[in-house]
């Protein structure tokens, strides 16, 4: 079937499931990215469910306010939320064809990611210096250290991956090799990283 | 396919104002969560408000930043229902059962 016929059938709403051309009226890259986000989200959901289970079963879970500096964690949250906003700006600029703006916003997002990673490295150094390890810690239940390093480490590895993808996207944008859809895929991943932090921040640091 | 890419590319442009409003809302909600966390309120109220605020923030990010609210209904349903059902399985079915097994082991 000719490409234009396929597009016409899709646009008429007749053929949205006929062979994977446009399932959900979205490009295949976007659909695959959403599948990745759902499956990766389930991985984090499993971690957080396991953490919730550990919290319920123990009476000696440390008081987070004594272990962490909540204003510092709030600053990390501010950086990540702001980087998500600049990423949205990059996607918006790319869709308008404003590639200089897209490049600047993408670089600002990568900078936000690097700042977040630096802050997290400082936090880890501080916590390790206080005596926290995977199997022990000086504040309470021994599982606390394991969950802290597992949850924040796994999220941090996602941030690091995101920064690499952002810098790659920025380099491609600078050479005008990127497409608007490519920038959007990078944005979807970066917003997902921000989304996961919303849950970690609330469930692990606040509750 | 270039036509399709162009169509999708155009579907989410021009949202600058929405992005900055969302950014502001996320920061304000985070600030409220922090203030409430350090205030003297009951545990039940704290849990309710913080979990509610967390879900509102997640909805704002997914809906506005990730443009999920502008996507096809089938995609929205697959993402949201998929995660919601799996969340229910994890928290409503598996967690209580794990707790029951833990109690059985402790009684031995």
Taking residues B65-76, what's their average pLDDT?
A: 89
Q: Between residues 62 and 121 of chain A, which touch chain B (CB distance below 8 Å)?
A: 65, 70-71, 74, 77-78, 81-82, 84-85, 87-89, 91-92, 94-96
Query: Between A27, A49, A71, which is nearest B90 by CB?
Result: A49
Predicted local distance difference test score (pLDDT) of residue B88: 85
Long-range contacts of A177-181 (CB under 8 A, 24+ apart): A178/A94, A178/A99, A178/A102, A179/A94, A179/B5, A179/B9, A180/A91, A180/A94, A180/A95, A180/A97, A180/B5, A180/B9, A181/A27, A181/A29, A181/A30, A181/B5, A181/B8, A181/B9
How much of chain A exceeds pLDDT 70, in percent?
89
Contact between residue A196 and residue A158 where contact means Cβ atoms under 8 Å apart: yes
How much of chain A exceeds pLDDT 90, in percent?
71
Q: What six digits make up the tokens of A46?
A: 């499993």
* ipTM of the complex as predicted: 0.85
Taking the CA of residue B108 and the nearest CA in chain A, the distance in Å comes to 17
Of A17, A20, A21, which is closest to residue A5 (Cα–Cα)?
A21
Neighbour count for residue A181 (Cβ, 10 Å): 21
- Using the Cβ of B84 and the Cβ atoms of chain A, whether some distance falls under 8 Å is answered with no
Predicted local distance difference test score (pLDDT) of residue A10: 56
On the question of pLDDT at B10 being above 50, the answer is no
CA–CA separation, A187 and A182 (whole Å): 9
Predicted local distance difference test score (pLDDT) of residue A11: 56
Higher pLDDT, A184 or A27: A184
Q: Which residues of A20-30 are buried (b: 16+ CB within 10 A; e: fewer)?
A: ebbbbbbbebb
CA–CA separation, A191 and A206 (whole Å): 21
A71-124 pLDDT, tens digit per residue, is 999 999 999 999 999 999 999 999 999 999 999 999 999 999 999 999 999 999
- Using the Cβ of A14 and the Cβ atoms of chain B, whether some distance falls under 8 Å is answered with no
Neighbour count for residue B10 (Cβ, 10 Å): 12
| Per-residue pLDDT band at B15 (split at 50, 70, 90) | low
CA–CA separation, A188 and B36 (whole Å): 31
Higher pLDDT, A19 or A148: A148
| pTM of the entire predicted model | 0.86
- Using the Cβ of A28 and the Cβ atoms of chain B, whether some distance falls under 8 Å is answered with no
Predicted local distance difference test score (pLDDT) of residue A20: 55
Name the residue of chain A whose CA is nearest to B9's CA: A95
Contact between B87 and A45 using a beta-carbon 8 Å cutoff: yes
CA–CA separation, A19 and A14 (whole Å): 13
């Amino acid at each position: 079937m000719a490409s234009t016929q396929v597009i016409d059938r899709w646009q008429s709403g007749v053929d949205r499931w006929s062979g994977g051309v446009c399932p959900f009226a979205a490009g295949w890259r976007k659909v695959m990215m959403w599948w990745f986000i759902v499956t990766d989200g389930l991985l984090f959901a499993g971690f957080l469910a396991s953490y919730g289970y550990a919290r319920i079963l123990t009476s000696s879970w440390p008081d987070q306010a004594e272990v962490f500096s909540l204003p510092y964690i709030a600053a990390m949250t501010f950086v990540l939320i702001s980087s998500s906003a600049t990423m949205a700006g990059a996607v918006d600029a790319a869709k308008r064809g404003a590639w200089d703006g897209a490049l600047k916003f993408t670089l600002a997002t990568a900078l936000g990611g690097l700042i977040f990673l630096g802050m997290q490295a400082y936090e880890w150094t501080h916590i390790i210096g206080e005596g926290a390890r995977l199997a022990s810690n000086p504040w309470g239940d021994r599982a606390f250290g394991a969950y802290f390093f597992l949850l924040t480490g796994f999220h941090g590895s996602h941030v690091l991956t995101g920064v690499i993808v952002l810098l790659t996207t920025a380099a491609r944008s600078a050479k005008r090799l990127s497409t608007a859809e490519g920038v959007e895929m990078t944005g979807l991943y970066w917003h997902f990283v921000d989304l996961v932090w919303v849950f970690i921040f609330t469930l692990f640091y606040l509750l | 396919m270039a036509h399709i890419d162009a169509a999708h590319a155009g579907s989410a442009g021009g949202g600058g104002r929405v992005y900055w409003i969302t950014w502001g809302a996320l920061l304000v909600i985070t600030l409220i969560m922090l203030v409430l966390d350090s205030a003297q309120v009951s545990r039940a109220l704290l849990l309710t408000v913080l979990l509610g605020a967390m879900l509102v923030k997640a909805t704002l990010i997914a809906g506005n930043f990730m443009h999920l609210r502008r996507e096809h209904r089938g995609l929205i349903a697959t993402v949201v229902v998929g995660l919601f059902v799996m969340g229910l399985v994890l928290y409503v079915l598996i967690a209580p059962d794990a707790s029951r097994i833990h109690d059985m082991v402790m009684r031995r």
